[in-house]
Amino acid sequence: MRIQQDFLQGAAGRRRWLRPRWVAAVIGIAAAAVAAFVATDSDSGLTGPRALTSDEANRLAITRFRNYQAGGRPVTITVPGTAGTLVITGSIDYRAKLGYGVVHGTGRDTSSDGLLEWTATTVLVHPMATTPADAPESPPASDWYGRPLQTSGSSLDSSLAIALSLGSDRPDNAELLPQNGAVWVGQGRLHGHQADVMTGSNARATSDTAGAVRYWIGSDGTMYRVAATVASESQPVVIDFDTRKYVPVRPVPALPSTR
């Protein structure tokens, strides 16, 4: 079956999202920050970097733990690409380490559109001739195809891995964060929330991360946005939270074997 071959073998063709083109450029941290600031709700300035205050370090240390405490968060993941942008809208269960959503292409054809469910090691895809605006609460019972999640060379897979890694069952060590290069960069309003922008350590979930990851964090440590530059693209991956209502993630009825 041709469509199954495209998804499982990564063949070039109408299912190009499983094998994004490589871009041999790695941009600097400042460029990622500027691109991410463009999309804030109000004008923001990069007045940093400067050292974190004790309060800022503590908020950065608990921000992934906040996601775990919440159980799950609604997400919008914007994935750059030379053929156009992919936008994934859905939810992540940070306790089960499971993501689910619908994928739409922007500035490209619809060959990549469909449903997506993923773990730290596996990507499951469900092609759809007509893709809904939101993923159905109950995943379809059949026609899922699986493959291993790539840890480098794919902006899509790197984005999925980074998004899934943004929850932790314990806070990070606030004292070690500044030693590992975390700094305060600026602040502004995002999705109606006042947020401080701080850098953190590179995403541990993927070897494709090219620079420090930036976090938009509220006064209580809530994470509102993450922007990360991946080596396979010249623009940052942007992960937004709380842009819609959280829908609990349900595993697909029958997980296919992967190759």
pLDDT tens-digit map of 152-201:
888 899 999 999 999 999 999 999 999 988 999 999 999 899 999 999 86
Helix (H) or strand (E) holding 73: strand 72-79
The residue assigned the tokens 């240390």 is 61
The class (CATH top level) of 2-241 is mainly beta
pTM for this structure? 0.80
Residue 79 neighbours by CB distance under 10 Å: 29
The residue assigned the tokens 């930036």 is 214
Domain boundaries, the chain: 2-241
The residue assigned the tokens 């709700």 is 41
Residue 101, judged by CB atoms within 10 A of its CB (0-12, 13-18, 19+), counts as buried
Which of 187 and 30 is assigned the larger pLDDT? Answer: 187
Residue type, 48: G
Asked whether the predicted pLDDT for residue 29 surpasses 60, the reply is no
Helical ranges in 38-175 per DSSP H: 54-70, 155-164
Asked whether the predicted pLDDT for residue 84 surpasses 60, the reply is yes
Asked whether the predicted pLDDT for residue 2 surpasses 80, the reply is no
Range name among 29-43, 69-83, 149-163 with the lowest pLDDT average: 29-43
DSSP state of 97: T
Please tell me the predicted confidence (pLDDT) of residue 22: 25
Bridging pattern class, strands 85-93 and 72-79 = antiparallel
> CB–CB of 242/74 below 8 Å?
yes
Please tell me the predicted confidence (pLDDT) of residue 241: 96
What are the tokens at 238?
């942007």
Length of the chain: 259
Which residues, 6 or more positions from 41, have their beta carbon under 8 angstroms from its beta carbon?
188, 189, 190, 191, 192
Asked whether the predicted pLDDT for residue 17 surpasses 50, the reply is no
Please tell me the predicted confidence (pLDDT) of residue 44: 52
27 half-sphere exposure, CB direction, 13 A CA radius: 16
Q: For 227-235, what is the mean pLDDT? A: 83
The residue assigned the tokens 């997506």 is 116
Residue 120 neighbours by CB distance under 10 Å: 14
> CB–CB of 144/8 below 8 Å?
no
Q: For 33-39, what is the mean pLDDT? A: 41
Q: For 106-123, what is the mean pLDDT? A: 85
Please tell me the predicted confidence (pLDDT) of residue 30: 33
What are the tokens at 259?
């190759």
